Structure formats: C-alpha cells, structure tokens
Amino acid sequence: MSLLSRRSPDTCRCQPAFVTPGGTGFENRTELRVDADDCPGDGDLAAEPACRATVIDALAERDADAVRVRSAGHERWYVDDATGLLHAAGQFAALAEHHDSEIAATARTDPLGAAHEAVGRAGPVDRLAAETGLAEGAARIDGGYEAALRSHDGPAIARCRIDHRPPADAALRDAVSLPTGGTVFVPGVGDVAGWRLLFVASAVPGLLVFIIRSQLSETPYYLARTGDVEGANDRLRAIAEENGQEVELIDADAVEAVESPGFSRLFEADIRTQTVMIAAAWFCINFGYYGVFIWLPQTVNAAGVAVGNVYLYFLLIAVVQFPGYFSAAYLVERIGRKPTLGGYMLLSGVFTFVFAASMPGVALFGVAFSGFWPFFLGLLASSFFTLGAWGAIYAYTPELFPTEARATGNGFAGGVGKIAAVIGPILAGALVSSGYLLALVPLAVAFAVGGLVVLTLGQETKGRPLF
C-alpha cells in the first residue's frame, strides 16, 4: 500500500491510498481507497469539489480500476465511467498545467466544466482533452455530477453495494419495506412487467381457435335449415358411421329453408324466460367468480393465514377445481343440468360466505369464526363448487335454445357474463376499504341468487332432443 502525500485544498481531509486487493478474481486489480472519516465533505465526490480534487490529484499519478470512499462506516464505490472520468481529469490536469494553469486547476475540481471549456479551443489544450479521454468522458454524461459520478453505496461491513440512483430508463419492479422502517425500491432495466407476460401467455391458446375451426363441421340441423340438405345428410352419414348406427336421412321436400332470425328471437314467448334465466346465471357466476379470485392474493394476505409460500395455497385452490369440474360433469348426466348448476352455484355462495366470515375481526352475532381452517376449507369448497358450476353452465346453456338461435343465445349470455366480470372486481375493490366481509358478501349473494334463479326458472334439458 502506498500513501500519497499530495493534498487538495484545506477543506478536504481525505486520505487516499492505492491498494491491490486479493481474492477478487481479477489479476493486478488496483483500487484507490479514500479514508474520509475526518473530512468535512464526507468524501462525496459528486457533491464536494474539494474531495473530487483530492481523488483527481491521486489518479494523476496512478490509474485505478475503482475508487472506494469510506466515511463513518459507510462506503461509496465508483467504477467504470465514473472512475474513467476522474482518471482522465487527473491526466489532463497534469499535462495541461504547462499550457494553461487555470484550466488545469478547473479540471481538478470541475472536470466537466474543464472539458466543455477545452473542446473547440485552438492549441494543445483541445488536443490534450481528446488524448486523455476527458472530452469523450464528459460527452457521454447526460446531466451533472449526480449522473457522472454515480456511486454504489452501502455499509462498510456489507458485501453488496446499492446504486441508489437507478438508470433513467429503469422501471420500478418492486418496493420492499424493511423492519427498520426504510423502503428499498428495486428497479429493472428492460424488464417486461409480469402481468404483460401473463397476458401474452394467456392469449397464445387463443391461436388454437384456427386449428379447432378447421376441424369442426356445421351441424346437420344448421345445414338443413339453411337449404344444404345434401350437406346435412353427409354429416348424418358420417355421424352414424362413427357411432355404428343406422342413418336416417333428411327428406329435402320436408325441409323449408329459412334465414337466421335476429336477436329478437331470444325474447319471443317460447324461450324468453330461459333467456333471462341463463343470462342471470351467467351474470351471477362471473360477478362472484372474478370478484373473489382476482382479489384472492390480497384476501389471503389480509386473512393472515398463509405460512411460507403463499403460492402453495393458490396451487391447492386450483387443484380442487379439477374434481369440481369432474363431479359436475358426472352429475349433469346423473341428476340433470338444472339441479347441478343451481346447486353448485348455491353452495358456492354458502362457502364464499364461510371464508368471508372467517376473516380476522369479523364476528357474527357476537361469535367469531376466524382461523386457518374455517378460512382455508371455506375457500377450497368455494373454489370446488364455483368451478363445477362453470362446467355445468357450459353444458346447460346451448341446450336451452333452438338451433336457429343457439349461437346467438350462447353469445348473449356470455356477453352479459363478461359485463359482470368487470363489475364484480371493481365493486369488491371499492368496498374492501370498509372491510373484507362487506366486500365479499355481495359476491356470495350473487352466487346464491344465481343458483336460486336457475332452480326456480330453469328447464331441465337432460335427455330432451335438441330442437
């Protein structure tokens, strides 16, 4: 270690020394270490010209890969462009001293100003600014010394340093609250927000529609009603052959070609009640499902029941949805579409209320049900029955409409549902500030109301021929 005797103005008491550290993984690495414990300027090279001059004077005599300033147990590391600018300023000041002592003095305290002054001047000063790299280093700086001399800071005893001035093109990735009361902001450069990746990943399966569409054929009913009786009979032959049954062909003379009816067909007397019933069911299931599950991470955290990785809980909640689907698929053929859908929606409402009532601070009639098991089992059961209801409603909806209005009826009911899918999370988010029970109860009520509407107004379509 060599201790340098040259000092900058009296206002700086920094003690610079060159060190060749070991164990860094780099051969012949040299650091300029500056002890700023006794310096009024605290060794802040970006803010204190006198401290800057001390370091530039030292680098005029010898190059360094990094500059490390320590003061009161705190360290600032200057590397790359910052160290390069300081070294260039030292070289320029030493060489320019013989030609222009004023600009050389300026370079020691204000290298950016010296670079701007030197560039374009006639004579050796301009040449020295170019040869030492001072002109190029200054030209690469967008801003003042806060940008030019960005440091990585941290406690001297720590192994890591933090750049507390993120790049201009960085976006906030995360904010972490520390037990000490401080906050660490984590920037990312060139990052793609996670929700954007999720959206892209979710959109990819939509491309399958082109493959599916190429493999689907129109139904014989549709082909016959639109006048393509031969095409309808071809489909009937293919269906009969695939199922090993005798084919019953359509008599062309018995078919009357009709145009597709308009939207008003859904509200004609024969299917009006079923249109309203199934649209209400779609509204309620979307309202409740998206209201609950979009806010699920916040709900689980607010309940305070998650121990360890919260995403393990979400995985379990997703896993129980599979038996929910399978049980509904079995029951729609066993007991019927109407009782399966109505019952599952009703139970979704019941168990959504159970886990809502299990949130901390909730007491019903003076009795509190909060705790891990009431909350978690209620949430699992809600997930089971809600996804079962989804499976049932997809099977039930198209069977309620005649062939000429089936696609329109499906689209109308689904569209009403998507409106609810927007309203549900917004309402829940608006109410959550008044308590999670108040936010979740409307979602539970929506499930239950949808189930009651199906059980009261719905028609059973199990075993009924399509019309």
Q: What is the pLDDT of residues 431-449, one digit of tens each?
A: 887 777 788 889 999 999 9
Q: For the residues 16-22, what does the mean pLDDT come to?
A: 83
pLDDT of residue 346: 96
pLDDT band per the 50, 70, 90 thresholds, residue 1: very low
* 26-80: pLDDT as tens digits: 667 788 888 888 888 888 888 888 888 888 888 888 888 888 888 888 888 888 8
Three-state secondary structure along the chain? CEECCCCCCCCCCCEEEEECCCCCCCCCCCEEEEECCCCCCCCCCCCCHHHHHHHHHHHHHCCCCEEEEEECCEEEEEECHHHHHHHHHHHHHHHHCCCCHHHHHHHHHCHHHHHHHHCCCCCHHHHHHHHCCHHHHHHCCCCCHHHHCCCEEEECCCCCCEECCCCCCEEEEEEEECCCCCEEEEEEECCCCHHHHHHHHHHHHHHHHHHHHHHCCCCHHHHHHCCCHHHHHHHHHHHHHHHCCCCCCCCHHHCCCCCCCCHHHHHCCCCHHHHHHHHHHHHHHHHHHHHHHHCHHHHHHHHCCCCCCHHHHHHHHHHCHHHHHHHHHHHHHHCCHHHHHHHHHHHHHHHHHHHHHCCCCCEECCEECCCHHHHHHHHHHHHHHHHHHHHHHHHHHHHHCCHHHHHHHHHHHHHHHHHHHHHHHHHHHHHHHHCHHHHHHHHHHHHHHHHHHHHHHCCCCCCCCCC
pLDDT of residue 284: 95
Residue 82 to residue 280: CA distance in whole angstroms: 65
pLDDT at residue 332 greater than cutoff 80 = yes
pLDDT of residue 282: 95
Matching residue, tokens 């999670």 = 436
pLDDT of residue 7: 44
pLDDT at residue 3 greater than cutoff 50 = no
As a residue count, the chain comes to 467
Q: Domain 261-457 belongs to what architecture?
A: Up-down Bundle (1.20)
What is the location of CATH 1.20.1250.20 in the chain?
261-457
* 84-99: pLDDT as tens digits: 888 888 888 888 888 8
pLDDT at residue 220 greater than cutoff 80 = yes
pLDDT at residue 307 greater than cutoff 60 = no
Burial category of 234 from C-beta neighbours within 10 Å (exposed 0-12, middle 13-18, buried 19 and up): middle
Question: How many C-beta atoms lie closer than 10 Å to residue 372's C-beta?
Answer: 13
pLDDT of residue 341: 94
For the chain, what is the mean pLDDT? Answer: 81
Comparing C-alpha atoms, which of 1, 45, 42, 38 is closest to residue 19?
1
pLDDT of residue 2: 37
pLDDT at residue 265 greater than cutoff 60 = yes
Q: For the residues 312-323, what does the mean pLDDT come to?
A: 82
For residue 62, which phi and psi values (nearest 5 degrees)?
-155, 145
